[in-house]
Amino acid sequence: MEEAASVAFPPALRALYRLHDGIDDPGDGKSWWPAGFLPGGQGWYRLEQVRGAYEMQTRDWEREPGRLPITCVPDDMWHGLYVDARPGESSYGCLGEWVVDREPALIPDGSALGWPLEAWLAEIADALEQGRCLVEPDGRRDEDNWPALTGCGGLTWVSPDEEPQAPEGRVLLEGPR
């Protein structure tokens, strides 16, 4: 993938893909719901999907090369997360949000450096273990992203005030595990 796109993965992203190659299409009419196990209901792209989305964004959308899309909301290819793979940039290895109709932006929004992928993954693990919402690098609590189990046993991230949507239901993971 790296050679085909002429871009080198930051070390944390390379390590992540060495462990697992994203999520599979559930196929056969099965629900995509369990695939959105990352905060914001994001599903993690397989390398093949990274390549396709990267080519589309740099070629068709004429976006600057070096921002690798790594997630999207399952069944919705119009927004997701990317990792900055532009060596020499202060945001190298950090997360950003891509949306079809606007330029990519670092997370947290308006930050100069962004959120390093490895720090984001550690924060997800801490939030799961502690049964709390995500906390961004600037200390802001993301009250829209609390871990919860779906009715079918999958992981999702929700706002506690939001009504559960059918068919998944949910149980918040509150407090230390």
**Alpha-carbon distance values, 113 to 33, 54, 91, 106, 172 (Å):** 32, 22, 5, 8, 31
Question: Is domain 2-172 in CATH 3.40.1580, yes or no?
Answer: yes
Pick the range with the lowest mean pLDDT from 43-47, 71-75, 134-138: 71-75
Q: What are phi and psi of 24, to 5 degrees?
A: -95, 150
Helix pair 117-130, 11-19: axis angle to 10 deg: 50
The encoded tokens of residue 125 equal 């693990």
The pLDDT tens digits of the residues spanning 105-134 come to 888 765 667 899 999 999 999 999 999 999
Q: What is the predicted pLDDT for the residue at 66?
A: 94
pLDDT digits (tens, 9 = 90+) for 4-55: 667 899 999 999 999 988 887 666 655 555 577 899 888 898 898 899 999 9
pTM (2 decimals)? 0.85
Per-residue confidence (pLDDT) for residue 175, from 0 to 100: 66
pLDDT of residue 142: 93
Work out the number of other CB atoms within 10 angstroms of the CB of residue 49: 20
**How far is it, in rounded angstroms, from Cα 96 to Cα 108?**
8
Residue 173 has pLDDT above 80, yes or no: no
The domain locations on the chain are 2-172
